[in-house]
Amino acid sequence: MEPPRLVERTAEPAADEPQAHRRIVFGIVSIALLMASIDQTIVATALNAIRSDLNAELNWSGWTITIYALGQILVMPLAGRLGDQFGRKRVFLAAAVLFTIASLACSLADNIYLLVVFRAFQAIGGGAFMPTATGIVAEQFGRDRDRAVGMFTSIFPIGGILGPIVGGVIVTYWSWREIFIVNVPAGLLLILLAWRFIPHSAPKAAARIDGVGALLLALTILSGMYGISSLGGRGADPTDPLFIGAEVLALAFGFLFVRHTNRARDPFIPITLLRGRGFAVMNAINLLYGAAVLGFGALVPLYAESRYGIQPLQAGTLLTARAVGMICVAGLAVFALRRTGYRAPMIGGFLLVAAGMTLMSTAPHGLTPYAWLAVAAGVTGIGMGLSIPASNNASLQLAPDQISAIAGLRGMFRQSGGIIAVSVTTTVLAHSATPGTSQANVFIIFAAVLLLIVPFTFLVPDHRGSW
């Protein structure tokens, strides 16, 4: 006899009426986003312990972080498309299962190569959370989906705060393996809650996978990011044959992907999401924004240590100041979106982040170096809290039936920009006699990039009210 099965509701796509259990669903997907966010930063505190325990070289230890970012870049657009085609609950559950199993495998790895491979699988699970969670929440909150999606802005900085703290405590009192083991009970709880409470979404009619398009997109991203990351990882310069070869391959695969997308009857990513009205400009904004903001965040502790001699633990807390500023403003910005539209908070936020980066690049005035840097980081956090909710929602209302795919592309472009910025910057610093001063100049360049984005925002379709 077949065991009794729970009756699950089916959510109508883009329904205007909020669903009864939307807050429970939001809490469940928030757990997933928090886990993925924490794992972006928690491993950084364990690099020395991993290197020592596994007798690994430094560059291979660093790949435990790099592969997580690369895996997320690859899977975000794929998960968005799969969620739209086969149902977001199925993809979300599959991501949770993969993330949990991969975390357990990471804790059991006995060499650095296996650890990097298992981290890649963990990244696939973690990267699939954001696009599927965005689609699930959009369905559940109906006309209030803009505010609900905007609230995701507050989850990632919380993970950024908790990651280094939790990682430091675990490595100090246990070992690096426990930073992965803690994901197992949390992942099992997430799977049970998601299976019980998240409703099924209706898959698209005649859905099918464009395998050729998916493969070409994967090869484009992997070859491009491998070439760029080799600059920092191998200490190479832009004339290195490996870098040139990888980027030529990326351009070739990218050309083939665009040509295939133009010709395919049911392409993996509709060409309108890449270059359609509003989408093309937002993709460019997300790439540049990721380069400036994500690249900046990853380099702040290094800057504090190299220029001012601040201790590593204290330098890491500077990102806490940025996260606090972001959290304080993001909630208010979300609820103001219907009055302000998207353009005004994006412009204001970009200008504030640029101002904070400029402050950080200058010498302290009347404050200790740490206090000066903390104030500057806080200003950048306020700017991020103002701009990210608007930029997250700016293109979603253009195609509400493809929310997961849009969210995946957004994450892909931002993460790609961040890796490009970090790789190029670390290459510059490796060849610099005064890394601290050179990095200050890099922050000025980041600020200039944000100012460059401002004119692009006038090409973004503005919107007020719910959608």
Tens of pLDDT along 313-334?
677 677 777 777 777 787 777 7
Residue 448's pLDDT is what? 92
What is d(CA 105, CA 249) in angstroms, rounded to the nearest whole number? 32
What is d(CA 272, CA 7) in angstroms, rounded to the nearest whole number? 37
What is d(CA 62, CA 44) in angstroms, rounded to the nearest whole number? 8
**Residue of 124, 216, 14, 159 whose CA lies nearest to 408:** 124
What is d(CA 5, CA 28) in angstroms, rounded to the nearest whole number? 21
User: How many residues are recorded in the chain?
Assistant: 467
Residue 6's pLDDT is what? 39
- Surface-to-core class of residue 280, CB atoms within 10 Å of its CB (0-12 exposed, 13-18 middle, 19+ buried): middle
Q: Which DSSP letter does residue 292 get?
A: I
The reported pTM is 0.70
**Residue of 321, 327, 298 whose CA lies nearest to 367:** 321
DSSP-assigned beta bridge partners for residue 11 = 201
What is d(CA 232, CA 406) in angstroms, rounded to the nearest whole number? 30
DSSP-assigned beta bridge partners for residue 200 = 10
Residue 353's pLDDT is what? 92
Report, as ranges of residue numbers, the positions in the chain whose pLDDT lies below 70: 1-21, 41, 44-48, 56-62, 142-154, 156-157, 160-161, 164-165, 168, 171, 201-209, 228-238, 276-277, 297-298, 312-313, 316, 337, 397-405, 427, 430, 462-467
pLDDT, tens digit, for every residue of 252-267?
998 998 888 888 777 7
